[in-house]
A and B are shown apart, each in its own frame.
Chain A
Amino acid sequence: MQEPAITPELIESHGLKPDEYDMILQIIGREPSFTELGIFSAMWNEHCSYKSSKKWLRTLPTSGPQVICGPGENAGVVDIGDGQAVVFKMESHNHPSYIEPYQGAATGVGGILRDVFTMGARPVASMNALSFGEPDHPKTRQLVNGVVEGIGGYGNCFGVPCVGGEVRFHPAYNGNCLVNAFAAGLADSDKIFYSAASGVGMPVVYLGAKTGRDGVGGATMASAEFDDTIEEKRPTVQVGDPFTEKRLMEATLELMQTGAVISIQDMGAAGLTCSAVEMGDKGGLGVRLDLENVPQREDNMTAYEMMLSESQERMLMVLKPELEAEARAVFEKWDLDFAIVGETIAEDRFLIVHNGEVKADLVLSKLSSTAPEYDRPWEPTPQAEELADVPQIDAIDGLRALLASPNYAGKQWVYEQYDTMVMADSARTPGLGAGMVRVHGTDKLLAFTSDVTPRYVRANPIEGGKQAVAEAYRNLTAVGATPLASTDNLNFGNPEKPEIMGQFVGAIKGIGEACAALDMPIVSGNVSLYNETDGQGILPTPTIGAVGLLAHTGDIIGSEVREGHVALLIGETAGHLGQSALLAEVFNREDGDAPQVDLDAEKRNGDFIRANRDFIKACTDLSDGGLIMAAFELAEAAGVGVQLDDAPTEKLFGEDQARYLVACNFDQAEALMIAAGRAGVTIESVGRFTGSSVRIGGSEAALDDLAGTYRESFAAAVA
């Protein structure tokens, strides 16, 4: 088949800039073939190469005694004692989900699950963080419904419980929704599988589903802004098959036990190209592929299409040749393809042959190690303007406005579409703070949360970056967990704009400082840039996924609020209203600075909660909506009313950081007061859980009435 000639238009349509094409000419010393151009575009796009972000990602703290494997592999690996490890990562599927919500979101879940089981871990928990445009924007309803159904459709069939996540709405996402999917798995810490190939002449084996034309060019699409030609990009979205993924997972884990796997890599973005190059590059080897041996779903596929297809549910493995029969038997058992498609070679060469014809012949190490890296110009985000006066508001009116907003309403409509209980180890399902799953067969538990407040990040990237980590730390703490490590999913606009790059640089600085101070190193992550449509960028949204450990079931801080319990506020309240939920929802304002994050106070107060868990019957962190929202959430979950002492608006709705609301009986409150005094932790009694209403001074409403609003307003807005 005749390959098209290389023209400037063809180069541009591959997302390569003229200077990048010049680099290609320099590296290979000749004009590339069409297939080679495709390979370069796949390896050098932003999504695969991290060319704008690498410089800054290197500054993040990624190590610690608990870290077995940090960023760079398919997922991070963290020690949880007893020879066990938790393997986790968060990854975006923003662009495909906007183009085709069901399949885009579904394959996002599929991709992240594959990242986890490729490392040898069985997935045990998932989460997803979603950002959509305004609820009444014409696209929002379709996106919310499609994305949620796609996540459920994939995860429910695969069989991993969803234990947490976030959903937010803001006009800045009207043209670009965000779908960030998290997965965590369990493995024995001495049985982790990596991607670096070793040994010359070892068979390269293709596993899983067949290759079709779906998703060709997906990674390049995901590295560009959107405009009005977006409908034409639908064919770049892949189609998911969770049943095949489930079999692929079982077969892969079984295969690993045979000892046949030298190295393994899932085929995600840029499919066969990216996985083969990665395995060769990490192992210092070359790779030869004979494409006629690739299992194909469609007739007459070209080398270009096979190398760039993003068909799902596929893996590439380097096999110990003497164990081929055993390995093949496992895949036959699960009715999956198993095909030797190439071999490792000693030369530093990426050789692609199709029916005896050389389609690409490149220096392998040049494809990834020497991919372009940019130090993009950036401007620090200017100091936020001072907060204008905020009028006092009736407490119940303010609370009701928050509960009526889909941003702060209960998310039952979302999470009831996900299987939250499969595997029968979910100790806490979504709804209130962090989710928890038991480590099967042990007394240990893992806790999971995902957090970010994009308004804060826009106003102040450094403090906003810190705050995302701090809130994750608090959510884990509030269930009694010790935070272990985190994963970051950094969603931003066009990095070629210095102000956007400035947001990125600032957020990384804040995240890095907080991760270091709170001992939650970043062990994996993903960067999604170019989240812009017609030049309009999203709010900077660096989602932090975090994992904590509880050594014993008895360490869980429950949510057992009882009639008569005291409400104690831990941490200092100054009444920060800048960028708060109250401002946005009630006054339609997004002014002022983000709250300052005092990392010492975060650590001190978090340690205090863990040290005094025996005195705490229920606990939640204070975040959006401040004290009043936290009090309502605890009351609603328990079905017991709450009375808060009368206080000004800024005290009730302020979003100062490092704070928790605790419920306990009178004696326990006394003990906590004494312990707080010793630890130098600020604590104050702010009211009582009692009756069947929410009352703040003279302002009162029935709990049932408010709870009804809380439970129904999400569905009312988008269903």
Chain B
Amino acid sequence: MKAAVIVFPGSNCDRDLAVAFERAGFDVSMVWHKDADLPEGVDIVGVPGGFSYGDYLRCGAIAAQSPIVKAVKAHTDRGGYAMGICNGFQILTETGILPGALLRNAGLKYICRTVGLKVATSDSAFTEGYNAGDVIGIPIAHHDGNYFADGDTVAMLHDQDRVAFTYDQNPNGSIADIAGVLSENRRVLGMMPHPERAADDGHGGTDGVALFRALAGVLTPA
């Protein structure tokens, strides 16, 4: 079971995500943003939080053009698994791998706190360790986490059961309280909250553990 974590020069949750993958039993390779290829046999790609290239432009806009993200796109186009957390979610929307966009928080301020996150569907490799309707405590830490998509897209996401998580109390103005969404084939997850910060009882709680564990279960070779 192999995971790859992409490292941009401004990534700062790369190690945290790698540790969470390792705890769930993955072999993890760190992949540099200038590389044009993913390592052989990668089962899941993690695009971590941080500030990819500084994000002085729209968050994730430059990262979406980087050599490695082209490889990530090829991987997901082939049906490969990927998850983007925080800045990683922003990058996945910038590439068009996931629909929508992340705007500045409605309150215009950066917010770091643990929020109640409602599991909107248990029908994915990421969320099958939860029951739909469960409320879990997961930290957020972002300035631009205000999810936006047009009405048709939001309706489509709901129709296709592709909303993975919603906020119990919307902290940032996200449309329809959306905190995380799935791709059409349900193999790509983007979410603003940080499950890797809640995967260890010494830090931030353990409500994120089930996500990594479920993923490991699905991706374990039979």
Q: Which residues does A use to contact B, with CB under 8 Å? A: 149, 152-153, 156-159, 241-244, 246-247, 250, 334-335, 412, 415-427, 438, 553
Contacts and interface: CB of A to CB of B under 8 A. Distances in A.
B197 A156 contact: no
Contacts, number: 91
A85 B141 CA distance: 29
Given A157-B54, A424-B19, A425-B203, A417 B9 contact: no
Nearest to B109: A417
B125 to A, nearest CB: 22
A420 B110 CA distance: 12
A153 B51 CA distance: 11
B141 A246 contact: no
Nearest to B52: A243
Contacts of A553: 202
A417 B197 contact: no
Contact of B204 (A152, A246, A250, A424): A424
Contact of A156 (B9, B141, B199): B141
A159 B51 CA distance: 9
14 contacts: A156-B141, A156-B143, A159-B51, A241-B54, A244-B54, A246-B9, A421-B112, A421-B204, A423-B12, A424-B15, A424-B19, A424-B200, A424-B204, A426-B204
B51 A424 contact: no
A152 B142 CA distance: 11
Contacts of A246: 9-10, 12, 51
Interface of B: 9-10, 12-13, 15-16, 19-20, 49-51, 53-56, 109-113, 139, 141, 143, 194, 196-197, 199-200, 202-204
B203 A426 contact: yes
Given A158-B12, A334-B9, A416 B203 contact: no
Contacts of B12: 157-159, 246, 422-423
A415 to B, nearest CB: 8
B194 A156 contact: no
A157 B51 contact: yes
A418 B139 CA distance: 13
A430 to B, nearest CB: 10
Contacts of A418: 110, 112
B56 A417 contact: no
A429 B51 CA distance: 22
Given A157-B54, A427-B203, A420 B16 contact: no
Nearest to A153: B110
Most chain B CB within 10 A, of A241, A247, A250, A425, is at A425
Nearest to A441: B19
A518 B55 CA distance: 45
A241 B10 CA distance: 12
A427 B205 CA distance: 10
Nearest to B9: A247
Nearest to A251: B9
Given A158-B12, A243-B56, A250-B9, 5 more contacts: A157-B10, A243-B53, A422-B141, A424-B15, A438-B202
Contacts of B200: 424
Nearest to B49: A422
Contacts of A422: 12-13, 16, 49, 141
A419 B20 CA distance: 19
A246 to B, nearest CB: 6
B10 A423 contact: no
Contacts of A241: 54
- Top 7 A-B residue pairs of the complex, sorted by shortest distance between their CB atoms: A159-B12, A243-B54, A424-B16, A157-B51, A419-B141, A417-B110, A243-B10
